Structure 1
């Protein structure tokens, strides 16, 4: 397996999505940070966070939705609660990137084809072709 050209393709993708990637990163990071602040406000003491972790570990439906609790520290609770959300929120950005790149390339290709047609096909021939097809 050869990785020739991988760095060039990575640079191209980053150059094409230089605006979308930072916007998504700031948005998802901001939502996770605000969630950390809210969890810290709701469960201010270590005892409250330990009680939350124990009750969520005992709740099978919460384990099915968010997975096992990583710990009773604030960081562990934030990673447990918002980790799935951050991955889910990043999915649209991951799907949008290749689609937008293809659409930009398609538009550029269509413009190039039209320019080639305009340069190489005489105007009288273009008019006769269009009129014969009802345009």
Structure 2
């Protein structure tokens, strides 16, 4: 059971204790956009502290690529894809697809064995885009 189960239980308890009123709430977490807005703001703050910028000053150029690494297609990959980030799916957790297999419902930009391989994949992609 995960957060979805907790939310359902909370809604039922709230309704029961308030005479049938519906619980109003804001959902946070992946794949909700608020999570990615927060993460992007954090990345921009870190980049600025290092004298860099996540977004290019020249509006003609796109923002720098952001890589999201995760093991859950329904949350990690779905959220990254919806927010326009490059999604890397690892086979070290929820997703355990075989070699060459991607999620059918929420396909990642790349599927790799583990986080280390995801980092190397991203570094190689960045290096090849500079040529």
TM-score range normalised by the length of the shorter chain? under 0.3
Going by fraction, where is helix more abundant, 1 or 2? Answer: 1
Where relative contact order (Cα < 8 A, 6+ residues apart) is larger, the structure is: 1
> TM-score, with normalisation over the residues of structure 2?
0.24
Based on CA coordinates, which of the two structures has the bigger radius of gyration?
1
Going by fraction, where is strand more abundant, 1 or 2? Answer: 2
